[in-house]
Structure 1
């Protein structure tokens, strides 16, 4: 009888341990800080399986949680920046310049800022810039300012800067209908730079 009791206790402990390990691995895999992808290009990460049939279970779960209506890589490639070019987590109290030398080899692009995977509320209701809405320099280059403080042009507001912590902000650069050459060079193709200008 005593042996049965000891066996039952060990069995229960093993089951509880398995549940905790499984739950812990799922929690770790689905954390917002892990959302992005396996392919790194500077401060940007991406995953060509996003929105596609070959996406794994964890990747599909991440898309369901953080990237609703994600399309396949033939339609859109999603580049996510959690840090600036120096590797520091993006913070809502800092000002960043996102600079591009022109347009990627794709039909269209857009740049959006998110705080905890939501649009940042602002009076102007400006949540993103695109290939057709961004103001450019004479040489076709462009710069978008991501900041809690009002900027003269191409401003993506991040709130008052008081709420939130480092790591709460994410930038998403979408390349729509990319060329095959762009896809083939996904890890080295020229992407916008994210530079921290100042912090409060």
Structure 2
């Protein structure tokens, strides 16, 4: 943490004459980014055909405060644009991570091949997020049963193991444990 703070302070010291733009909580909503850019004296968009590229004026610095994706339909575009801007201006773009960004690190463990067995996985994962009241919680088993019913019609012939795929797991994680409703739309 101390190293990170010193890096931020060094960046801030080198940019004392620069104007600083703050962008945060875009949550996958590219239209929101467009609206902010329209009002910004530091950020602008360039177009090439149908594509837009987020740009930063030479006398400016951008601090992104986190939560680039999840709720909107353009999550990947938001992440790609911010990372691209950081690569082009590494000394003038600071990308902070928010809870919606950090919680994606779960994917590497919960979608790993060794974690796909329903009978050996952690009870805390199988039962869903403990912060959601039990009567409103969708457990992984319940979610997979619904998916099985969609495939079989009545669910009587199949088992939930048949639909326990990484794709379905990812849908459950996004929709029922991360609050990223429609988070899998256009991604899976």
Higher percent of residues as helix: 2
Choose between structure 1 and 2 for higher RCO, CA contacts under 8 A separated by at least 6 residues: 1
Q: What is the TM-score of this pair, normalised by structure 1?
A: 0.22
Higher percent of residues as strand: 1
Q: What is the TM-score of this pair, normalised by structure 2?
A: 0.23
